[in-house]
Chains A and B, each alone.
Chain A
């Protein structure tokens, strides 16, 4: 919960725990298999090393990230609450 930055209250936690035990219990079917020698598939594609030339490039979505910030100051910097108490 700490890792996921989520707070779960008592009742919610009870249901969640039960659901997760059931789901993770189901996953245990994988443990019965001897597949250690198989190379894991780590993505959806077999493409490797997609490079582009190391040149200046004007992004087509320029500014679109900062435009979406919910809170900015006058210079379009992202405004956040203090990190340290």
Chain B
């Protein structure tokens, strides 16, 4: 049996009842990875020695009969833009090809305290720019449900690793949907926390006002277990806020949701919506209706402007954040040396950045340049304020918002890569809540297409109501009978 298919609680039970040791589990998993990852391409680098070493203490504790954390010994995959000390952190970019992280991200510090085990660093779109993981500078990643299709992005490697049983759970980062959309495409649960709920220290920044780290897991319950471990205020990230998820986060009660109202925004259910997505969503609504949840049609009229607003603000922040990668401070590409500083900048950046990254850096430089600032950047920020306010207002009438996660199931490799605008549109349902800084979770509906591709729904919560959407997600899994079971 491949132990990577277990949920966190099943794995924990296996450890404490001595069905297997943490070491055996890691060895089992690496065998599975060596057999499967040539076809999937989920990982950019593996750390077998480090993973084996970190199981030692866990196994000693168990053999002595001491209690262990629920995350102790749990093999996890980590997106390559999150720093683990002494391991490569390339963010799938050539410009960081030779970089090794010199400190742990705050979320990694927290997981190390729980004695989680890190298997390796996962593939992604370069610097998290993309929705298909095709923008990785190293290789593409295939969707485990259909290798001809993309796993989504930008956290596509993390999602593919979990969906193919190469890790029990993973961390990704979500700027405009980069956790939720790959979780959707791979039949998993993906949580984007409220902006500020999780420290960004040690996350290679793309767009600082939007980036958040979050879990990709097989079930909402696993996502909640991980959330409990990584949430919290951190002095290294002054935008972080201490949020208590509550002692009952893993014990949601049906009566808690009987009186809630779920909002269905008309803008997220266009007439031309994909028929499988629509079928999945109908199924979800019916299940919730059976649980006596109230529904209300709502309107968020400025939703259609979210893509423009986002794809102006994001490149603007990208162009500032990526200025630091100059071949001087982090790593240097060999054979692109120069005897003069300015020439070195040009040669390093030109050969180090991929097409989409260059496109966004140039776009960002443009929207911020004098003469265009008012027309683009300022307008985008004003639109962001309007979209945020609109959410705030509807949350007086409803408790959570239910939408599709993506307009389509996983698309084919190569289908959208030549048309950046078409690729940007695939984030249309995840971007608005990102702009507003709201928590959102993607959960499989249970309905699959004829080709066997998963479909998902998204729950958007009020600011800091991360626990609410995690609980509703767990109750949904209980209702349709996938609780504690993996979707594959």
Contacts and interface: CB of A to CB of B under 8 A. Distances in A.
Interface string B132-155: 000000000000000000000000
A70 B346 CA distance: 17
Contact of A6 (B305, B329, B353): B353
Interface residues of A, number: 49
B365 A3 contact: yes
A15 B455 CA distance: 34
A20 B363 contact: yes
B361 A45 contact: no
A20 B365 CA distance: 12
Interface string A48-80: 001010000000110111011111000000101
A5 B346 contact: yes
B341 A83 contact: yes
B341 A80 contact: yes
B120 interface: no
B386 A81 contact: no
A70 B328 contact: yes
Contact of A64 (B102, B353, B359): B102
A46 to B, nearest CB: 9
A33 to B, nearest CB: 7
A2 B327 CA distance: 17
Contacts of B388: 41
Interface residues of B, number: 69
A14 interface: no
A41 B208 contact: no
Contacts of B307: 26
A65 B328 CA distance: 12
Given A70-B331, A81-B341, A20 B308 contact: no
Contact of B332 (A27, A63, A70): A70
A42 B437 CA distance: 12
Nearest to B434: A44
A60 B385 contact: no
Contacts of A30: 305, 308-309, 312, 376, 379-380, 383
B402 to A, nearest CB: 24
B17 interface: no
A78 B344 CA distance: 15
Interface stretch (B39-47, B233-241, B254-262): B233-241
Interface in B291-346: 304-305, 307-309, 311-312, 319, 326-332, 337-346
Interface string A1-35: 10111111000100010011011101101110101
Nearest to B350: A7
A3 B305 CA distance: 28
A39 B195 CA distance: 20
A33 B154 CA distance: 31
A35 B382 contact: yes
B36 interface: no
Given A4-B319, A4-B361, A38-B382, A44 B235 contact: no
B369 A33 contact: no
Nearest to B351: A7
Given A30-B308, A44-B437, A85-B340, A19 B236 contact: no
Contact of A19 (B208, B309, B359): B359
Given A6-B350, A71-B332, A80-B328, A16 B239 contact: no
B414 interface: no
A38 B390 CA distance: 13
A35 B345 contact: no
Contacts of B304: 29
Given A44-B196, A69-B329, 11 more contacts: A6-B362, A29-B305, A30-B379, A35-B383, A36-B382, A44-B195, A44-B208, A45-B195, A47-B196, A65-B329, A70-B328
What are the 3 closest A-B residue pairs judged by CB atoms, nearest first?
A40-B381, A64-B102, A44-B209
12 contacts: A3-B365, A6-B346, A6-B362, A20-B359, A23-B424, A27-B380, A31-B375, A42-B209, A44-B208, A64-B103, A68-B100, A68-B329
Interface of B: 98-103, 195-196, 208-210, 235-236, 238-239, 241, 304-305, 307-309, 311-312, 319, 326-332, 337-346, 349-350, 353, 355, 358-359, 361-363, 365-366, 369, 375-376, 378-386, 388, 420-421, 424, 437
